[in-house]
C-alpha cells in the first residue's frame, strides 16, 4: 500500500505541490502537432501555462497535503474544512475545467495529450467527490489523519532546519481548536458508519503520540520564547484532542448509523474514477474468479512437489476433489508459515528482507536503483487500523528525501492466539514479499523514479492502479526470477499473496455492491485464499472503511502483465527486463494505457 497524501479529505484537498516556478520542468512540446493559439502562444504552451498555474495554486487548498508532498509555502497553516472552504474548491475546479475545455486536446503534442486527460479526469473526480460522494460529511477518518499528518509531515523529513519546523508545528497546533470545531460542525453524525466512528476513536489520540515521540524530545533546542510558545501550543492541542476524543466516544459513536456500503451507483462511479480502466465491475469479477481457480491449481501442483520431497511415497491425484486440493495446499503452506518472527521482531525482519531484495535486484540487474534513503519504521499510531504496512514516499519537490516503509506493530491488547495468527500470516517469507511490494523493487523504487519525471502533472496526478499494480507485478516477477534460490515455499507464499490480490478485488465490490456478510467474506479470505484469521479480520474492516482502492491491486497487476507481454512482442530479441522496467517507470505514474502508448510509440488513447 502506498501512502500518498492526495485526493479529498472530507472536503479538504490533500495534495502534493510544486513551486510556483515550474516552467523549467515541463518537457519540450511535440512541436509537430502544435499550432498558434490566441495571443501568439502555441496550443501546447497554452496548456502548459494552465497546468503550471494549477500546480502553483492547487496546494493552497490544503496546507497539510502541500507539506507532506513537498510544497512548504504553507507549513504554518492548517486546512479549513468549512462550507466556505469547499465552495472555494468548487470554484477553483470549475474555473479550471472551463479553461481546460477551451484547449483543443487533439492538437496537443503526445506528452501533453496524456497530461490533459489526467488533469481533466482529476477535475471531474474532485467535483464528484465534493458534490456526490461527500465523504467530508460522513468520514471522520479523514480528519484524524489530517490532524496527525499536520504534525507528522513537518517532523518526518529534514527538509528545513529543525527550529523552523518546530515553530510551524506550534502554529498548526494553535489552530487545532478551530479545526476540531469545524470537524464537529461538518460531520453529519447520522451519516457516519459505526465502523468509521470506531476506527476514528482508535486513531484520534495518535497525534498526541506523534507529539511525544517526534516533537517533545527537541523542545530544548529552541529559544526560551519559542520553547514557551510550543509548549503552550502542545497543551492546547492535547486539550483539544481529548475534547475531540470525548465527542467521538460519547456523541458520534452513539449517533452513528450510516451505511458503509456505497451501493452500485456510487461504487461504479468511484471505481471508474479510481481505475481509469476500460474494465467494468463485472469484467473485473469474472477475471478475478478465473484467476482464483487457476492460481489454486498452480498452488496445488507446487504443494504436491513440496510434500513429495519430504515424503517420496506420498501420492496425490492429478484432478483432486475440492477438499483434497484444500488440504494439500494447507499442508504445504503450514511448512512455509512455520518460520515466524518474534512478536517484536517484524520490523527487524523487514530490515533483513530489504537487504536481501536490494541485493537480488542489483545482482540480477533488474532495474536501476536510486540512491534515495529508505527507513523502515514502526507505523505512526494515527495511521494504524487500515493496513499492516505502507510506503510513505516524499513528494516530487523533495527528490532524494527519505522514504518510509512503515510496519504496524502488533496491538498490545491482542491475545497470544491473535498474535500467533498474525505472525503466521506475516511469516519470514511473507515479510520478504511485503518488502518486495512496499520497497524493493516495488513502491520505493517505482516512486523514486516517478518523482524524477520532468512533467509535474505526472507526479501530482498519479494512478493508484499503476502504483499498486507495479508493486504486485514485482512480487511475481521476483519469484519468477528465482528469488531465494527458487525456494518452492517462497513461491508458494508469493502465489498466496497473489490470491490476496484477487480476493481484494472480489471483496471490494462484494462489500459495496453485493452486500456480502462477514461470514461469507471470511470464508473467501480464510478458506479460498488461505489468509490467517487476523489478516482476514483486518481486511474485512478495511473493505468497509475504503472503497475502490482494494481493486487497484488486481486490475493494476493485470494491466502490467499485459503491457509486459506487449513489449516482448514489440521488441522481440531486444527485450530485456531492465530495459522494460526502467522504461515503464520512467513516465511517472499515469494510467497504464498511456504508459503503453508512450513506451511502445502507439497512438495516445482517449
Backbone conformation region of residue 276, classed left if phi is above 0, alpha if psi is from -120 to 50, else beta = left
Q: Are 364 and 481 in contact (CB under 8 A)?
A: yes
Mean pLDDT confidence for 267-294: 96
- As beta bridge partners, residue 407 has 378, 389
pTM equals: 0.90
Distance of alpha carbon 357 from alpha carbon 440, whole angstroms: 6
Task: Give residue-wise pLDDT tens across range 226-247.
Answer: 999 999 999 999 999 999 999 9
C-alpha torsion sign, points 138, 144, 150, 155? negative
511 in a structural domain: yes
Instruction: Give the count of domains, the chain.
Output: 2
Distance of alpha carbon 390 from alpha carbon 69, whole angstroms: 16
Residue 12 scores a pLDDT above 50: no
466 in a structural domain: yes
The residues, any chain, with a CB within 8 Å of residue 184's CB and separated by 6 or more, are 244, 247
194 in a structural domain: no
Instruction: Report the chain's mean pLDDT, rounded to a whole number.
Output: 92
Instruction: Please give the pLDDT value at position 297.
Output: 98
Instruction: Please give the pLDDT value at position 460.
Output: 82
Distance of alpha carbon 384 from alpha carbon 206, whole angstroms: 9
Instruction: Please give the pLDDT value at position 3.
Output: 61
183 in a structural domain: no
Residue 195 scores a pLDDT above 90: yes
Please work out, in degrees rounded to the nearest 5, the angle formed at the alpha carbon of residue 595 by the alpha carbons of 591 and 600. 155
b/e per residue, 552-573, with b = 16+ CB within 10 A? Answer: bbbbbbbbbeebbeebeeeeee
Mean pLDDT confidence for 528-533: 96
* Angle, helix 141-155 to helix 162-173, in steps of 10 degrees: 160
Query: Of 114, 134, 154, which residue constitutes the final position of a domain?
Result: 134
Distance of alpha carbon 335 from alpha carbon 313, whole angstroms: 18
Query: Of 103, 119, 134, which residue constitutes the final position of a domain?
Result: 134
268 in a structural domain: no
- As beta bridge partners, residue 308 has none
Identify the domain containing residue 11 by its residue range: 1-134
Instruction: Please give the pLDDT value at position 130.
Output: 98
Mean pLDDT confidence for 136-144: 98
Q: Are 115 and 51 in contact (CB under 8 A)?
A: yes
Are β-strands 403-407 and 12-13 bridged in parallel, bridged antiparallel, or unpaired? unpaired
Task: Give residue-wise pLDDT tens across range 68-78.
Answer: 879 999 999 99
155 in a structural domain: no
Strands (E), 100-241: none
C-alpha torsion sign, points 282, 283, 288, 290? positive
C-alpha torsion sign, points 424, 428, 429, 430? positive
Query: Of 134, 153, 180, which residue constitutes the final position of a domain?
Result: 134
Instruction: Please give the pLDDT value at position 7.
Output: 34
Residue 6 scores a pLDDT above 60: no
255 in a structural domain: no
Residue 59 scores a pLDDT above 90: yes
355 in a structural domain: yes
Amino acid at each position: 500500500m502506498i501512502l500518498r497524501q492526495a485526493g479529498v479529505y472530507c472536503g479538504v484537498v490533500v495534495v502534493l505541490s510544486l513551486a510556483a516556478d515550474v516552467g523549467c520542468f515541463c518537457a519540450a512540446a511535440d512541436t509537430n502537432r502544435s499550432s498558434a493559439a490566441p495571443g501568439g502562444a502555441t496550443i501546447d504552451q497554452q496548456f502548459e501555462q494552465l497546468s503550471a498555474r494549477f500546480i502553483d495554486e492547487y496546494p493552497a487548498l490544503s496546507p497539510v497535503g502541500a507539506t507532506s508532498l513537498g510544497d512548504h509555502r504553507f507549513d504554518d497553516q492548517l486546512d479549513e474544512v468549512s462550507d466556505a472552504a469547499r465552495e472555494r474548491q468548487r470554484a477553483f475546479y470549475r474555473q479550471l475545467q472551463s479553461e481546460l475545455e477551451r484547449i483543443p486536446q487533439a492538437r496537443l503534442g503526445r506528452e501533453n495529450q496524456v497530461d490533459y486527460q489526467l488533469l481533466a479526469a482529476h477535475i471531474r473526480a474532485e467535483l464528484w467527490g465534493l458534490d456526490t460522494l461527500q465523504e467530508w460529511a460522513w468520514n471522520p477518518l479523514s480528519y484524524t489523519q489530517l490532524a496527525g499528518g499536520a504534525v507528522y509531515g513537518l517532523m518526518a523529513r529534514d527538509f528545513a532546519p529543525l527550529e523552523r519546523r518546530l515553530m510551524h508545528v506550534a502554529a498548526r497546533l494553535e489552530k487545532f481548536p478551530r479545526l476540531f470545531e469545524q470537524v464537529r460542525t461538518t460531520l453529519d453524525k447520522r451519516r457516519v458508519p459505526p465502523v468509521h466512528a470506531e476506527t476514528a476513536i482508535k486513531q484520534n489520540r495518535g497525534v498526541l503520540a506523534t507529539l511525544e515521540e517526534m516533537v517533545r524530545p527537541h523542545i530544548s533546542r529552541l529559544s526560551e520564547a519559542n520553547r514557551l510558545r510550543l509548549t503552550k501550543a502542545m497543551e492546547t492541542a492535547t486539550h483539544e484532542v481529548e475534547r475531540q476524543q470525548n465527542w467521538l466516544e460519547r456523541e458520534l459513536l452513539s449517533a452513528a448509523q450510516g451505511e458503509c456500503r456505497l451501493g452500485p451507483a456510487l461504487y461504479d462511479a468511484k471505481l471508474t474514477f479510481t481505475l481509469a480502466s476500460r474494465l467494468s465491475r463485472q469484467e473485473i469479477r469474472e477475471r478475478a474468479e478465473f484467476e482464483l481457480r487457476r492460481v489454486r491449481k498452480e498452488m496445488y501442483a507446487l504443494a504436491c512437489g513440496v510434500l513429495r520431497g519430504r515424503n517420496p511415497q506420498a501420492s496425490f491425484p492429478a484432478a483432486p476433489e475440492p477438499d483434497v486440493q484444500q488440504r494439500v495446499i494447507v499442508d504445504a503452506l503450514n511448512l512455509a508459515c512455520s518460520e515466524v518472527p518474534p512478536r517484536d521482531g517484524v520490523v527487524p525482519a523487514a530490515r533483513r528482507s530489504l537487504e536481501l531484495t536490494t541485493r537480488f535486484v542489483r545482482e540480477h540487474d533488474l532495474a536501476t536503483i536510486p540512491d534515495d534513503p529508505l527507513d523502515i519504521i514502526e507505523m505512526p499510531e494515527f495511521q494504524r487500523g487500515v493496513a499492516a504496512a505502507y510506503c510513505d514516499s516524499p513528494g516530487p519537490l523533495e527528490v532524494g528525501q527519505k522514504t518510509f516503509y512503515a510496519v504496524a506493530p502488533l496491538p498490545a491488547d491482542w491475545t497470544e492466539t491473535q498474535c500467533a495468527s498474525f505472525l503466521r500470516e506475516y511469516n519470514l517469507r511473507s515479510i520478504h514479499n511485503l518488502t518486495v511490494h512496499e520497497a524493493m523493487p516495488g513502491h520505493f523504487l517505482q516512486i523514486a523514479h516517478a518523482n524524477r519525471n520532468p512533467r509535474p502533472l505526472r507526479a501530482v496526478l498519479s494512478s493508484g492502479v499503476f502504483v499498486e499494480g507495479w508493486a504486485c507485478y514485482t512480487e511475481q516477477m521476483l519469484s519468477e526470477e528465482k528469488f531465494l534460490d527458487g525456494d518452492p515455499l517462497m513461491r508458494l507464499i508469493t502465489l498466496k499473496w497473489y490470491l490476496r490480490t484477487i480476493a481484494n478485488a472480489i471483496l471490494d465490490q462484494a462489500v459495496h455492491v453485493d452486500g456480502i456478510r462477514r461470514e461469507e467474506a471470511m470464508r473467501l479470505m480464510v478458506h479460498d485464499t488461505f489468509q490467517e484469521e487476523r489478516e482476514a479480520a483486518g481486511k474485512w474492516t478495511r473493505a468497509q472503511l475504503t472503497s475502490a482502492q482494494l481493486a487497484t491491486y488486481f486490475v493494476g497487476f493485470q494491466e502490467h502483465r499485459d503491457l509486459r507481454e506487449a513489449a516482448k512482442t514489440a521488441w522481440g530479441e531486444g527485450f530485456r527486463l531492465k530495459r522494460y522496467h526502467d522504461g515503464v517507470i520512467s513516465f511517472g505514474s499515469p494510467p497504464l494505457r498511456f504508459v503503453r502508448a508512450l513506451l511502445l510509440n502507439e497512438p495516445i488513447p482517449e
